[in-house]
């Protein structure tokens, strides 16, 4: 457990407060997904003790996502700790700024909007396909954050898709750095593609954040807290509080989102130098088609016995069954109708 605050860093002033042995925490997400996915996200965090879950519906009247948005909202708001905000034209008409063109900017706007109305001690800004995975009670973790630190960084753990006959999402992998392993183990674990994947992930390796209440002049970013427009550095790095990212929970979902992620999402190539995931996907599409994409997915993202054993050998495996249907039943008393698959970004 460390703090990154140093002389010359971008330090957010943290107001003095009375120590709280059981701080309240909340979650905010901008969502564009079927009801069953949103309900699972909310139920998971409420089951961990969240004081509030605030959901901004990014495209509420998209019939490809939900045939009856009013019924979806009613289902979610049947729990008194869930707030649902449909981000439609009427809502934006009441805001200071019009609707941003990119989903990343809309996420930041919504998270900051929620933060300014926060009635808890901490706020986690995450996505609908991300799940906080605490090793101990979250309140205990947050209570021990140094009083000068403005935020907590949660390292990400990438979900492995269940491999038949297992159908339960339970395994998450870490990067070599998180497990104190040399980066060269990527090539041992992922012999075909490891050299070209940051941390061995196909999703982001940057994790997400919890932000302390009461900070001034801040904007909630995607992976960071911005203070006066620059990433804040008085951050607490907490390895007992990881972020489970269900980025590609099946081959079908991986393939479904390829085009969007390559053009607008997390697979976009930021430069023209190193051979990275976008180049791998382009090459496999051109040379091997669906067979090549399936080989990539099976080597790096499926919980095959081979991959699970290799990750376990290098202390890069976490087992944490999500059990979302049970949590939905516990929180809502019933399962929502099954919808179309996740439209995550």
Q: What is the pLDDT along the chain (345 residues), one digit of tens a residue?
A: 444 445 558 999 999 987 888 999 999 999 999 999 999 999 999 999 999 999 999 999 988 888 899 999 999 999 999 999 999 999 999 999 999 999 999 999 999 999 999 999 999 999 999 999 999 999 999 999 999 999 999 999 999 999 988 888 999 999 999 999 999 999 999 999 999 999 999 998 999 999 999 999 999 999 999 999 999 999 998 889 999 999 999 999 999 888 888 887 778 776 666 788 888 998 998 999 999 999 999 999 999 999 999 999 999 999 999 999 999 999 999 999 864 444 444
318 class by beta-carbon count within 10 Å (0-12 exposed, 13-18 middle, 19+ buried): buried
Q: Which domains does the chain have, with CATH numbers?
A: 2-248+314-332 (3.90.550)
Backbone φ/ψ region at 113: left (φ over 0), alpha (ψ -120 to 50), beta: alpha
pTM: 0.92
pLDDT digits over 10-37, tens only?
A: 999 999 987 888 999 999 999 999 999 9
pLDDT given for residue 266 in this prediction:
77
Q: Do 46 and 54 form a contact (C-beta atoms < 8 A)?
A: no
What phi and psi values does residue 126 have, to the nearest 5 degrees? -140, 175
pLDDT digits over 286-344, tens only?
A: 999 999 999 999 999 999 999 999 999 999 999 999 999 999 999 999 999 864 444 44
Residue entry with tokens 């095959």: 304
d(CA 244, CA 134): 10
The residue among 139, 136, 119, 140 whose CA lies nearest residue 53 is 119
d(CA 62, CA 139): 37
Bridge partners for 236 per DSSP: 3, 152
Q: Three-state SS across the chain?
A: CEECCCCCCCCCCCCCCCCCCCCCEEEEEEECCCHHHHHHHHHHHHHCCCCEEEEEECCCCCCCCCCCHHHHHHHHCCCCCEEEEECCHHHHHCCCCCCCCCHHHHHHHHHHHHHCCCCCCEEEECCCCEEEEECCCHHHHHHCCCCCCCEEEECEEEECECCCCCCCCCEEECCCCCCCCCCCHHHHHCCCCHHHCHHHCCCCCCCEEEEECCCCCEEECCCCEEECCEECCCEEECCCEEEEECCCCCHHHHHHCHHHHHHCCCCCCCCCCCCCHHHHHHHHHHHCCHHHHHHHHHHHCECCHHHHHHHHHCCCEEECCCCHHHHHHHHHCCCCCCCCCCCCC
pLDDT given for residue 272 in this prediction:
64
Bridge partners for 132 per DSSP: 243
What phi and psi values does residue 124 have, to the nearest 5 degrees? -100, 130
């Amino acid at each position: 457990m460390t703090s990154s605050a140093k002389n010359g860093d971008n330090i957010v002033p943290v107001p003095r407060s009375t120590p709280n042995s059981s701080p309240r925490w909340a979650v905010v997400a901008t969502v564009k997904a079927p009801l069953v996915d949103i309900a699972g996200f909310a139920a998971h965090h409420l089951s961990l003790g969240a004081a509030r879950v605030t959901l901004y519906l990014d495209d509420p009247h998209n019939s490809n996502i939900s045939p009856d948005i009013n019924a979806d909202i009613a289902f979610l708001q049947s729990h008194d700790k869930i707030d649902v905000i449909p981000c439609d034209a009427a809502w934006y008409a009441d805001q200071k700024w019009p609707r941003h063109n990119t989903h990343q900017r809309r996420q930041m706007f919504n998270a900051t909007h929620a933060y300014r109305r926060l009635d808890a001690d901490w706020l986690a800004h995450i996505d609908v396909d991300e799940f906080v995975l605490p090793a101990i009670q979250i309140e205990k973790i947050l209570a021990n954050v140094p009083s000068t630190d403005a935020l907590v960084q949660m390292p990400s753990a990438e979900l492995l898709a269940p491999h038949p006959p297992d159908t339960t999402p339970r395994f998450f992998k870490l990067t070599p750095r998180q497990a104190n392993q040399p980066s060269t183990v990527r090539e041992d674990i992922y012999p075909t593609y490891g050299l070209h994947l940051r941390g061995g992930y196909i999703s982001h390796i940057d994790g997400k954040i919890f932000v302390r209440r009461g900070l001034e002049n801040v904007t909630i970013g995607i992976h960071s807290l911005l203070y006066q427009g620059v990433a804040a550095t008085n951050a607490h790095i907490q390895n007992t509080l990881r972020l489970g990212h269900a980025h590609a929970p099946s081959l079908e979902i991986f393939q479904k989102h390829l085009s969007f992620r390559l053009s607008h999402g997390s697979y976009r190539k930021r430069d023209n130098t190193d051979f990275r995931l976008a180049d791998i996907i382009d090459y496999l599409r051109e040379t091997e088609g669906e067979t090549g994409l399936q080989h990539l997915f099976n080597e790096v993202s499926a919980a095959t016995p081979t991959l699970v054993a290799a990750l376990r050998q290098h202390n890069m495996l976490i087992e944490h069954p999500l059990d979302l249907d049970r949590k939905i039943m516990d929180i809502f008393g019933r399962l929502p109708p099954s919808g179309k698959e996740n439209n995550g970004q």
